[in-house]
Amino acid sequence: MAFVQKDKASKSISFRVPPQLAALHTEAMQMCERAGGRLELGAALQSALEQELKATIRQLKSLTANAG
């Protein structure tokens, strides 16, 4: 899951990508380069990226709803 932090004093929200997601992104970019610029993700990699993105969106929505 991505790491999202809310600073109550400044009302800012910071976002940090976990190492495993950064590694997946690097792997996806390397696959894209090897494919001549076409992004062709394997099913497992695509599923993992989608799950991380969904979890991040849920977390951001929750923090945004609770901000204030």
Buried b (16+ CB within 10 A) or exposed e, 45-58: eeebbeebeeebee
Domain range spanning residue 23?
3-66
Question: pTM of the entire structure?
Answer: 0.41
Query: Under a CB-based contact definition with an 8 Å cutoff, are residues 13 and 63 in contact?
Result: yes
Among candidates 14, 9, 39, 11, which has minimal Cα distance to 25?
Answer: 39
Q: How many domains does the chain have?
A: 1
With a cut of 70, say whether residue 67 has pLDDT above it. no
**Average pLDDT rounded to a whole number, residues 2-10:** 66
Q: CA–CA separation, 34 vs 40, rounded Å?
A: 10
- pLDDT tens digits along 31-66: 777 777 665 567 777 788 788 888 888 887 887 777
